Structure 1
Amino acid sequence: MRELTSSFPSLTSWIGDPCLPYPYNWLSCTEDARPHIDKIYLDSQNLSGGLPDILKSLKELTVLSLAVNNLSGTLPDLSSLQNLKVLDLHANNLSGEIPSFLGDLTALEILSLAVNNLSGTLPGLSSLQNLKVLDLHANNLTGEIPGSLGDLPALEILDLSFNNLIGVVPQTLLTKATSGKLNFSFAGNQYLCDTRNPSKSCGRRRTHTKLIISVVVPVSFIVLCILFLPVCMKRRKGKSREAEDSSQTPAPPGPPVEKSADDSSQTPAPPAPPVEKSVEKSADDSSQTPAPPAPPVEKSVEGQVFSFKEIELMTRNFEKIIGRGGFGLVYEGQLTRRKKVAVKVLSKSSKQGKKEFLNEVRLLSRVHHANLVRLLGYCNESELVLVYEYMTNGSLWDSLHGEGVPLSLWEDRVRIASEAAEGLEYLHRGCDPYIIHRDIKSSNILLSEKLTAKISDFGISKSKDLQVSSLAASSSGISSSEHSEQFSTTGTFRTLTRAQGTPGYVDPLYEASHVSNTSADVYAFGVVLFELVTGKPPIIRNVRADGESIHIVKWAKPYIERSRLAEIMDPRLSKALNLYSVWKVIDIALMCVDINRNSRPSMREVKKELELAISIDNQDHSTSTGTLEDVEAYDYQNPVRVR
C-alpha cells in the first residue's frame, strides 16, 4: 500500500496497514488469517500520472475502480489479477491501444474504459465468458466490430458509441439487441453499417458506389453525345435560321432558374438544399470539410422532441465535447443560427429505461426558473439525449479554480451566491414534488453571458439504474438491499461510493446515515460560499507541513474565530469591497455547514441572508475599504439575521 499511495500525491497521508485495523473506506480486505486487499475504490480523487505497476502484485483484487480522474499513459500489464471482476477506468486520459492481456482476465464481469483517448482496433475478448458489461464509448477506436463479441454468453450491455468504427455491425449483435438480450449502442460511428436500416450505407460501400458513379456517368454521357451529335447539329442549324428570320423580335425571357444561375446579382439565390441532403453530402465525402449545414428552422422548443438525426445535425456529428461526467458526454450544439445549446448524451450503461427517462423529462420540462438551467428538449430514439440552454461563461468552478471568467468584484460573487440560492430554494419549495439536488457544487453552478448564475444537473444525473447497479453490486459482493443506497452516478455504470455527491461537498451526516434531505444540499451550498470567499477548492492540498489535505471549512474556521480575515480571503478580490458584507457571507456559510442538521437554515432563509449581504455591500460604510483589521470588532458569532 505504501508504494500505491506514494504513486499519487493526494494519497500520501494514507499510511499504515490497510487491513489491520480497517482504517479506510476506499478499499476492503479479505477475511483470511493474513488478509489481502481485494477491492479498491478511488473514483473522483483527482489522481494523475500513470497507473502504478504495484497494482499487478495485488493478486486477490476483485474490484479496481479508478474512474473520473486524470490518469494518463497506457494500461500496465494486469494479467496477474486473475480474480478481477470489475475494472472501471472510465473518464480519464488513458491512451494507446486496448491491451491484449484483458483477454486473460477470465473472471472479468464489468469492463469500462469509456471516455478516454484509446485508439486502435477492438480486441475480440472471446475468452471473457463471464463479461456482462463492456463500455468503450467516447474513444478513438477504429476498425470493424469483432463478430466474436456476439458470442459472449453473459454480455448484457455493450456500448461502442462515439468512436471511429467502420464496416458492418455483426448480425449476432443485432439479433441479440433486437430480441432484448443485449443493450447495445453504436451511435456516433459515421461509417458503421446497420443492415436493419438499408437507407444507411456503410462507409466502404459508399466509397465504392461513388467510384462506380464517377466512372459510369461520364462514360455514358460521352456515348450519348456521340449517338445524338447529328441530331443536335441539325437542330442547331434550324434554330440559327429561325434566329436570323426573327432578328427584329425580342427573345422571350428565360426560365427564372436559368436567369438566377447566369445573373445572381439581380435574382435572389435559390434556397439552400434540405437539411437531409446536406448531412448526406457530409457523410459521403469526409475528405472535405463542408460548410456547416443550416440548423433546424427556428421554432418553439419548449419540451421539443428531437430526432437523433437532428441531434447529429445540431452537434455537427458530435464534433465538440464541452463536458463529461458519469452521465456521459456534453456536446456543443447549434439549435438555430443565433442559439447555441448544450447536448447531453446519456451513457448507454448509466441511463434509465425509456419510460423512467420520459417521466423524468416530463417533470423537468415543467421546472422553470431564471436560476435553473432550462431543459429545451430531448431525444428518446436509439440514444437518450437532453438538450439544455448553453451557458457561455462555463461554471463557477472554472472562474474560481480554472481558466474561466475572473470574478474580481465582490459584488459579482455575492450576487452569484444569491442567484444560486434562489434556484436551489425553488427546487426545495417551488417544485411538486420537490427536488433534492444531491450534488450541489461550484461546477454545477453555471454562468450565462451576463454572469447570471443557474444551477444544473438536477434530476437526471441522480436517477436509479437498477439493472446496471445490481450487476456491479453482484460483482462487488454487495446485496441488492445495500446497493440501492450506496451506488451513485459517479461513473459510466454505478460505481460504489460511500456517499452521494462529490467529495468535499458531502454532508458528514449523510456519510454516516446514507439518509439525504434538503439539509444536505444546504451543507454543500455552505461549502460553495466558502469557495467564493477564499477562492480555495473544497479539499485543499499541500497547505500543512505534513502535506496532508484539509477540508476548506476545517482550514478556515481557526482564522475566522480569531478574526484573521486577511489570511483566508481570495487575494484576487478587488480591495474596494465592503468587509461587513464578506463577514455576513461567512456567517451564512457557517450556519449552512453546522454539524447539527436541525440548526441549519432552509434555503429560503439562506436566500434572505444573502439579500441582506448584498444590501450591506451597497451601503457606504467607513470601513468598506481599507485594512482588514478594521472589521475585527465585527461579532461574527452574533450577527443580525433575517428570520
Structure 2
Amino acid sequence: MAASRKLDANGISGTNKWSTVQLEDAIRSFSTEIIHVTARSYVFVCLVNTDSGTPFISALELRPLHNATYNTETGSLVLARRLDIGSTTNATVRFPNDIYDRVWQTHNWAKLISSQTDDYQEQNSYDPPSSVMTTAVTSTNATEPLSFSIGIEGSASQYYTYMHFAEIAILQANQSREFDVYLNGQKWYGPIFPRYLSTNTIFTRSALNGGKFQFSLNKTGDATLPPLINAIEIYTVLELLQPQSDQEDVDAIMNIKSAYRIERNWQGDPCSPPDYLWEGLNCSYNDDDLPRIISLNLSSSGLTGEINRYISNLTLLQSLDLSNNSLTGSVPDFLSKLSSLKFLNLSGNQLTGTVPPPLTESVGGNPELCASVSCNDNNNKKKYVVPVAVSVAALFVIIGAALAIWRRSLKRRKKQEEAGEIMVAQTRRTSEALESRKLKRQFTYFEVVQITNNFGSVLGRGGFGTVYHGYLDDIEVAVKTLSPSSVQGYKEFQAEVKLLLRVHHKNLTSLVGYCEEANNMVLIYEYMANGNLKHHLSGEQPDILSWEGRLRVALEAAQGLEYLHNGCKPPIVHRDVKTTNILLDAKFQAKLSDFGLSRIFPNEDDSHVTTTIAGTPGYLDPEYNITTWLTEKSDVYSFGVVLLEIITSRPVIAKNDDADKIHLSNWVSSMLDMGDIKAIADPRLHGDFDVNSLWKVTELAMACVSETSSERPNMTQVVMELKECLATEMARTREGSRSPQSNNAVNLMALNLHTEISPLAR
C-alpha cells in the first residue's frame, strides 16, 4: 500500500454497498471477500470516495465456484472467518494448495492430531485443501465435547457456517469415531461417521439470525474416540436489495459511450445507486420496476459522426440534448418514434437533409437542415440553371434523331423477347433437371421388398412403424415402414421426407431414398450399426460407454441440433430430441434422427411458432407445454435431459420409494444440494472421469432444463461448452491415471481488468 494516511472507501458490488475499507498506514493491508451469484454476464465493482482520500485498489481477483456449493436462501456471502483447524505449520494456505484460491488462516484451540500420510483420497465439491484436511483438533478428554461459538450477542448479522470433517487416523477394529453436532444445546445434525481421508461437509441450510451461536460436537454412546473437526468456514449474509438498471438501457448507453468515445467518468451501473448516477443522465425509480434512463444530456461533449442508432433503444427517454457538438448526417426518423420523448435539442451541429415533421422545432442552428422536401428543390434551383433558349431547328433535329432511335429499339426489343422466351424455357428445363438430381431416389414398393429380402430382418419397432435391415447395392440400409395404425401418420412421413431432402450434415442421419406407393410409405436411411444411445446407457450392452465416449456422442448430437437451429435458413426445430433418436454408426459417430415432428420456422426472424403440443413425456419443454409457443430453446430443454441421461444412465421419469414419479432433473438437483457430484455419475464408470468435466456438463445440463427458456443457453453455447469438456477429458486420458488430488484440479480464470481513467499498473 502506497499511502500513510487514513483512507476510507466503499466497495459496491453491482449497485449495492459491499464493504468499507479503512487503511490506517502503509504497512497494514486489507482484503475482503464475497461469494456472489451473478444475475448477468458481468460484475461492476466500484470504489467510491468518502472524503477521506482517493480510492485505490491493489488487486481484484475472481474465482469461479461450483453452483452446488455455498447456496443461500437470499443474498450473498461475505467471509467472516475461514479456519484451518489444527495446522502443524501455522502457515496460511491458499493457491496452489486450494484450487479456488481461498485463504485459510490457522487456528488451534484443542488437542492437535495429524495424518501419517499426505496421500488424500477423496474430496467433495467444496474441495478444501488436502493439507487442511490431513490435520484436525479433538477434545483432550475423550468424554468431553468439542465446542466453539460464532457471532456476537446483540448482533443483527445473519450467519452461514460450513464444517469440514475427515478421519485422519487408521482406526483399529475395536475403535470407532461417531458424534452428533448440537446447536445452542439442541441436536442439530448427526450422527457423523467421518471416513478415512474423505471429506464430509455439513452446513446451515438457512441463515442463523442474529446473536451468538454455540456449537458442540458430542461423542455418541457407541463411540470409543472423541469427535474431531478439520476446518470451518463462517460467512455473514449481505442482502443486495438495490436493483440494477434495465439491461436494454445499460446495453444502449454502453454502446453510445463506445461509439462517441465519451470520456466522462461513466463507470459501473448507469442509474444505481441514485447517489452515483452517471453525469448527464436522469433515471426513473419505481419500486416495481428496474431503474430506467429517462434523460440524456450530451450537450457540448465533442460528439462527431451521425446520431447514434442505439439512442432508439432508450425507449423511455423523455429528454435528449445533443446540442453544440459536431454531429453530421441526417436527423434519423427513429427520434420521432420515441413515444415518451418530450424535449429534443439538436441545435449547434452540422446536420443536413430533411427533418421528420414532428421534430422541426428541435433542430435550430443547423443551416443545412430543411424542414420539408420542398427545400431540396429550392436548393437545386439555386445551384443549377436550366437553359431555355433553344433554336427551333435544333429542336427538330433532336426530335428526329430520337424517333429513329426509338424505331430501331422496338425492332431490337422484339427480337430479344423472342430469344428470351426460348432462353427462359431452356433455363426452366435445366433448373428442373438440376433439381431432380438433387432429390434422393424414389423407390417402388417392389424394390423395397427386394432391398429388405421380403422384410426378413427386423431392427426395431417404434411409433412410426417397423424398421427393417436391408441391402442396396451391397450397402447396408435401414428401412422404416409406416404402420397403418401409426399415430404419426402420413403428415409426419411427408414432413420427414421434405426436411431430409434439404438438410445435409455429418451429425444428421442421411435419407437414402423413400417409397410412396398407394398405402405403402417407406423411408430408407443409412444403416447405423451401433443402434441408439438409449441402448448403450441402459446397460443392455456388455461394453460400457466411457466418459470420453459419452462426451463425444453428446458433442456430435449437439452439433447436429445446432446446425438445424443456425445452419438452416429458416431455422428448424426438431421437437423430439431424446436418446432413442440419437443413433451411432459403426465408428460410434452420433447422428440425430427421426424428423417427423420437426417444424420449419416460416420466417427466420420469428421468435416462436404456435403449434399443437408434440414430443415425448419427460423430454417435453414445460414452457412450450403451457404456452404452445415452440422455440429453439424447446430443443435445448430436451437436449438437457439427454445430457442428464448421459451423466447418470438413469431413466428420465422414475418412481421413488413413495411410488411418486420424479423427473431426472429433480433427482439430480436434490443430489447437487448434497454437494456430492460423484454420486450423480453412472456407477458403472467407477469414477474413471475428470471431476471438473463432470461438474461442467452437469451444470450445463441443469441450465438447459431451466423452467424458463430465457435462462437456457442456445445450442451454439452448448457446443462450445461440450468441446471444452471433451478436451479436458481427452487430456486426462492422454496423461494416464492421476491421483485424486490432481483429478480435482481446475484452471483459474484469467482476467484483464482495468479502468478507462488511468493506465494499467503493469
TM-score normalised per structure 1: 0.43
Judging by fraction of residues, say which structure has more helix: 1
Larger Rg: 2
TM-score normalised per structure 2: 0.37
